Amino acid sequence: MNMDKYLDVINACRFCFMCRHLATLAAVTGKEADTARGHALIADRIRMDKTELANADYIRTIYQADLSGSCRKHCVSSYDEIGLKLALRQDFVEAGLAPAAVSALAKEFTDVQFKVSGNGDMLYYPHPCIEAHQPEIAQAFLSVVPNVKVIDGGDCGKVLKLLGFAKESQAVAARFQAAVKASGCKTVVVSNPAAYDFLKSDGAMDGITVLHSSEVLLNSNLGSAAKLGKLTFINSDFLRNYQECNAPMDLLAKLGCEVERFGTNGEDSYACGEGSMPGIRLFPELTRKMVAHVADMAKRFKVETIVTPSPFVKHALTTYAPELKVLAIEEVAAAVKL
Amino acid sequence: MLPQRESYSYEMIRSELTWVVGDDHVQTDCSEKLAHSIDYYWVPEVWHDRGLKPQVPTFVVHPASAEEVSKILQIANTYKIPVTPWGGGSGSQGGALPMYGGISLDTKRLNKVLEIDPVSMTVTAETGIIMQQLEWEVEKAGYSTMHYPASIGCATLGGFIAHRGTGVLSTKYGKIEDMIMSMEVVTPTGEIIKTLPVPRHASGPDLTQMFCGSEGTLGVVTKATMKIHPIPAARKFHAFLFEDMHGAMVAGAKLMTSRLQPCVIRLYDNAETAKLIKRVLGIERNGSYLVFGFDGEEAIVDLQMKKAVEICKETAIEDLGTDMGQAWWDHRYKFFYPPYMFQLPQAFGTLDTVATFANIENVYWGMKNAVKEQFPQATFIGHFSHWYDWGCMLYARFIIDNPPQDAAEAIALYNRIWDVAIRAAIKNGGVINEHHGVGLKLGRIMKDLYGPAFNVLEGIKKTLDPNNIMNPGKMGFQGV
Ligand SMILES: Cc1cc2nc3c(=O)[nH]c(=O)nc-3n(C[C@H](O)[C@H](O)[C@H](O)COP(=O)(O)OP(=O)(O)OC[C@H]3O[C@@H](n4cnc5c(N)ncnc54)[C@H](O)[C@@H]3O)c2cc1C
Ligand code: SF4
């Protein structure tokens, strides 16, 4: 089984409470099961009794995990609690136990074809997130960095990976790679941190550099963003916890914004389940709860405008808390381009 | 008699509970029940590890207000089913385990910070809040609770109150019972009461203190007001090595009895210095490691530090300096993460005891010799954690690397070691215990510890909880 590769994680996490304060979903459900410890206990029971793999409660708990990565990042020994959950999801899929809703969603992301248009040395991949309707982000980026080719078509394999469809994910990734290769570009720029993470790990391409849009914007000709007033920054889990990419913060600093970190600390995830993006389709109620938590904090701490490098965060917040003013980092850049 | 699943009464109780907290907040699924069957007590861990059937609650209920807690307790009284409060489940005594099934009342939705009062320097919060989250909120307002236990990230404010918990800076800022001003409690029969708003008064016995340490047996603490402090301008540390534990203990006691005001002192015996301090701080030395710190205004910190260093220099064999003190502070929680923490397959227990300076070394040797003589397979190590004007706490541990594979045999051995060690501690003037509480693990010893005074506690329990619904079988009280 795939989860057997994570026996060290199971043994470490099953009786460990040390990262519970950072369990993003548990913070809104209050549930013990939604913590790294809760997940490891489930894995351990499955390890001891393989028939438990079919336990519908366990399957649901593992699929609804937020995968923020805050716990792994906090962990003194960096135990890969995320890898364990992804391995379990893969085990469910391979045993034919994926819930019908999961399989149906996976199907949507399997038949993807990519096409490249435009001219330039860099290839921009704007696919925003699970729901592909945030054209304003790509428009903002392209208004600052116009001379690029654009690759479009859909998700490059990350969603399938998150759902546990590893083989299918690799097949889509191979198609994406072929399209990139055919474009002749050696640099791919992405706005979506989930794709950034995927293209730097499972979907990595030989000889191709992958950049987040903020890394490119850092070197663009931009003016001062001080006029935008106070901005409050919600980071992407994929950028902060998975890839340790600081470019969005560096960019905001360079633009001279008055920026404050959202929330009370630098470890919590406020990304509303970005780590497990398809969750917004499978368990919208849980996303709504995570958003409500962020919206409540925004109100208490009198947040005016939220800025984020994550299209998912913008999408989740504007869907479930339309009263919040949220800008993608590309939109901040576009507002101050010279 | 508890209702069986798929019975009319089970469905009746479930319906009533959902009417109180909503469908979403009454869980009966395997995932949540499994997670509520194991706290930080070694016995449920080994139980799980050996593949035994978990002892789960019938319902996990997550209330979001004192009113909801009250209604849940009323339902429990009607059906006479046990209610076990569950905060973070990080208690090491089995206190939150739903031994008899029934309702596991998980407090974590009671997680709001209600008020920060900068004039009186207090914070009022609901008690299901994770301590680290509370500390972060208070820090954002420019203050600190100064409650820094190793379990700050996993335990709740209510859990600390229920176990009389303590943090690393207790020597200056006190244990949780010194930090709490007042609280709101839902009594076992469902009344919502408030204790007096200040902790110093002459209006009869103090109810706040009565509920501190009651471990969910006398009700559910739903709100608390605690002191907060300014963030100190300076916090400095220094470490020394002593030839043996006695020398270090004499120096540590002198720091306290000369009435210096360190925020922390910690002394590791030779065995723990060789094992844990080496592993976490990389110091490879024979001897006992002593570290202390002061915080506050820099000039006062420096003055106190100077005096403390002078005291230690009289007998220490090596001045490890400020870096090795600071390193300890920086890594203070690292000891508690895997793989630094003891973990299965090892059997281990924290023999938490507290005594006066006159008795504390006798307690240490009494326990150590008893364990060594009767259980040669066990290693005994210890450090002294929380220091007072009159004595300190011994955080002793026994570790067995290869306990029996059979769960019953392993648990029997474990219980036996506990019994022998704790009785040796009591015989030498120790009190069990300083901050972990009693729970299921040590309930059987309460009568011996208290003598006839235990009747007073039993009387209070019977009066407040006539149907014995609140956490039965814990703290030495009657089970179901
Ligand atoms: C890694 C680690 C390190 C630790 N370090 C420390 C430390 O430094 N200092 C320390 O003091 N302890 C420490 N502990 C022990 C533990 O964190 C404490 O005992 C803590 O008080 C338990 O809080 P909890 O919220 O997890 O309570 P739980 O374990 O959920 O419950 C403990 C008891 O309190 C009762 N209870 C919980 N909430 C309420 C409530 N609101 N009202 C009434 N009763 C309630 C429960 O029924 C149970 O009897 C540590 C534990 C771990 C896992
Ligand atoms: S990830 Fe690390 S801190 Fe979190 S439960 Fe696992 S071992 Fe503990």
pLDDT band at A312 (very low <50, low <70, confident <90, very high): very high
- Given a contact cutoff of 8 angstroms between Cβ atoms, the answer to whether A278 and A162 are in contact is yes
Report the pLDDT value the prediction gives residue B4, as an integer from 0 to 100.
67
pLDDT band at B3 (very low <50, low <70, confident <90, very high): low
Query: Which residue, judged by its Cα, is nearest atom 27 of ligand 1?
Result: B159
CATH 3.40.50.300 fits B113-230, yes or no: no
Reading the block at residue B361, the tokens are 């070394």
Cα–Cα distance, B287 to B289 (Å, whole number): 7
Q: What is the pLDDT of residues B146-162, one digit of tens each?
A: 999 999 999 999 999 99
Report the pLDDT value the prediction gives residue A168, as an integer from 0 to 100.
98
ipTM (interface predicted TM): 0.96
Q: Is B143 a catalytic residue?
A: no
Q: List the single residue in A13, A17, A30 with the smallest CB-CB distance to B40.
A: A17
Task: Please indicate whether the domains covering A115-217 and A226-335 agree at the CATH topology level.
Answer: yes
The answer to whether the CB atoms of B140 and A264 lie below 8 A apart is: yes
Report the run of H or E that residue A213 belongs to, with start and end: helix A213-217
- In percent, the amount of chain B with pLDDT more than 70 equals 99
Q: Domain boundaries in chain A?
A: 2-97, 115-217, 226-335
Q: List the single residue in B27, B48, B151 with the smallest CB-CB distance to A17.
A: B151
For residue B224, the one-letter residue type is A
Kindly tell me if the per-residue pLDDT of A128 is higher than 80. no
pLDDT band at B1 (very low <50, low <70, confident <90, very high): low
Q: What is the pLDDT of residues A217-255, one digit of tens each?
A: 999 999 998 888 899 999 999 999 999 999 999 999 999
- In percent, the amount of chain A with pLDDT more than 90 equals 94
- Residue B110 CA, closest ligand 1 atom number: 41
Of A10-24, A281-295, B282-296, minimum mean pLDDT range: B282-296
B347-453, what's its fold?
Answer: GMP Synthetase; Chain A, domain 3 (3.30.300)
* Chain B environment of A288 (Cβ under 8 Å): none
Q: Domain boundaries in chain B?
A: 8-108, 113-230, 234-336, 347-453
Of A120-129, A308-317, B118-127, minimum mean pLDDT range: A120-129
Q: List the single residue in A15, A41, A60 with the smallest CB-CB distance to B34.
A: A41
Mean per-residue pLDDT, B305-331: 96
A115-217, what's its fold?
Answer: Rossmann fold (3.40.50)
- Of residues B276 and A114, which shows the higher confidence score? A114
Reading the block at residue B134, the tokens are 């509370």
Average pLDDT, chain A: 96
Cα–Cα distance, A193 to A158 (Å, whole number): 10
* Chain B environment of A19 (Cβ under 8 Å): 153
Radius of gyration of chain A (CA): 20
Asked if residue B296 belongs to a known ligand binding site, the reply is no
Residue by residue, DSSP assigns A101-134 as HHHHHHHHTTS---EEEE-SSEEEE---SSS---
Report the pLDDT value the prediction gives residue B2, as an integer from 0 to 100.
66
- In percent, the amount of chain B with pLDDT more than 90 equals 93
B8-108, what's its fold?
Answer: 3.30.43
Cα–Cα distance, A288 to A283 (Å, whole number): 9
Residue whose C-alpha is closest to residue B470's, from B98, B16, B26: B98
Average pLDDT, chain B: 96
Q: What is the pLDDT of residues B441-452, one digit of tens each?
A: 999 999 999 999
Q: What is the pLDDT of residues B378-417, one digit of tens each?
A: 999 999 999 999 999 999 999 999 999 999 999 999 999 9
pLDDT band at B84 (very low <50, low <70, confident <90, very high): very high
* Chain B environment of A32 (Cβ under 8 Å): 32, 35-36, 60, 86, 89, 106
- In percent, the amount of chain A with pLDDT more than 70 equals 100
A226-335, what's its fold?
Answer: Rossmann fold (3.40.50)
B234-336, what's its fold?
Answer: Alpha-Beta Plaits (3.30.70)
Using most ligand atoms within 8 A of CB, pick from A15, A68, A75, A76 the residue to mutate for ligand 2.
A75
Report the pLDDT value the prediction gives residue B11, as an integer from 0 to 100.
94
* Chain A environment of B137 (Cβ under 8 Å): 264
Mean per-residue pLDDT, A43-68: 98
Report the pLDDT value the prediction gives residue A258, as an integer from 0 to 100.
86
Kindly tell me if the per-residue pLDDT of A132 is higher than 70. no
pLDDT band at B429 (very low <50, low <70, confident <90, very high): very high
**Verdict on whether the full-model pTM lies above 0.90:** yes
Ligand nearest to C-alpha B40: 1
Using most ligand atoms within 8 A of CB, pick from B60, B90, B186 the residue to mutate for ligand 1.
B90
Residues of A with CB under 8 A from a CB of B: 11-22, 26-27, 29-33, 35, 37-38, 41-42, 44-45, 48-49, 55, 57-58, 60-61, 75-77, 79, 264-265, 301
